[in-house]
């Protein structure tokens, strides 16, 4: 197993782990920090920290979730540095009731993402998710994009399972509402 080999000092095994997870760690860091330079620094710091602390990795959780926890903490620290004097927390703005009831009830086109080119679609998805409160965004990214379980997401963020479920549902509904503008069926047949 790669992790065991890396723990025994096999640097090539660790490099394999980096290749396996660098995309995911970068995505998480970028979603939290919303800044490419910071996200790149987070990736580097998170992997170096993981390498340093590999001996402390217990092996009773998955290596990936352990690494994600490091990356989330590094990302939040980076945000705090950038916004000096302002408290940064993943609880920011979560009290809003916006988007908890669906308003746009139009059907979407079949395969709506086919209406846009790759880069146009990526831009729509970026813009849409950037509009979510940070506390919803991070839960959606960990749970729905990166595939952590509800329990792993709760543990990583220091939240209760019901809090994760509630934020996840509201994140999903808010994203749905906003994407509906782009993907809904129009009666006149235009985009």
Partner 1 sequence: MTCTEFLAQLGDFLDNQVTTGLVADLQDHLAGCEHCVITMQTTRKTIEIYRNHEVYELPAGLRERLQAAILAKCKKGC
Site for partner 1 in 24-53 (CB under 8 A): 26-27, 30-31, 36, 39-40, 43-44, 47-48, 51-52
* Residue whose C-alpha is closest to residue 121's, from 135, 111, 134, 136: 111
In the complex with partner 1, which residue's Cβ is closer, 65 or 150?
Answer: 150
- According to the binding rule CB under 8 A, does residue 121 interact with partner 1? yes
CB atoms within 10 A of CB 167: 25
Smallest distance, Å, CB 89 to partner 1? 23
In the complex with partner 1, which residue's Cβ is closer, 86 or 103?
Answer: 103
3-state DSSP of 94-138: CCCCCCCCCCCCCCECCCHHHHCCHHHHHHHHHHHHHCCCHHHHH
CB atoms within 10 A of CB 109: 15
H-type alpha helices, the chain: 2-7, 11-33, 36-52, 63-82, 118-130, 134-140, 150-157, 161-183
Smallest distance, Å, CB 172 to partner 1? 5
- According to the binding rule CB under 8 A, does residue 88 interact with partner 1? no
Residues at the interface with partner 1 (CB under 8 A): 9, 11, 14-15, 18-19, 22-23, 26-27, 30-31, 36, 39-40, 43-44, 47-48, 51-52, 101-102, 105-108, 112-113, 118, 121-122, 125-126, 129, 140, 144-145, 150, 165, 168-169, 172-173, 175-176, 179-180, 183
């Amino acid at each position: 197993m790669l992790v065991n080999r890396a723990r025994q000092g096999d640097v090539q095994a660790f490099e394999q782990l980096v290749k396996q997870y660098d995309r995911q760690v970068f995505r998480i860091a970028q979603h939290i920090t919303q800044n490419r330079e910071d996200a790149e620094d987070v990736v580097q710091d998170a992997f170096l920290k993981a390498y340093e602390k590999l001996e402390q990795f217990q092996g009773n959780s998955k290596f990936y979730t352990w690494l994600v926890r490091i990356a989330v903490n590094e990302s939040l620290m980076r945000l705090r540095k950038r916004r000096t004097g302002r408290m940064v927390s993943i609880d920011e703005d979560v009290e809003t009731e916006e988007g908890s009831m669906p308003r746009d009830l139009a059907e979407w086109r079949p395969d709506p993402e086919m209406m846009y080119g790759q880069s146009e679609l990526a831009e729509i998805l970026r813009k849409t998710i950037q509009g979510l409160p940070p506390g919803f965004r991070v839960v959606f990214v960990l749970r729905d994009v990166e595939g952590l379980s509800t329990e792993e997401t709760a543990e990583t963020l220091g939240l209760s399972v019901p809090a994760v479920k509630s934020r996840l549902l509201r994140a999903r509904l808010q994203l749905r509402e906003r994407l509906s503008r782009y993907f809904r069926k129009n009666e006149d047949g235009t985009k």
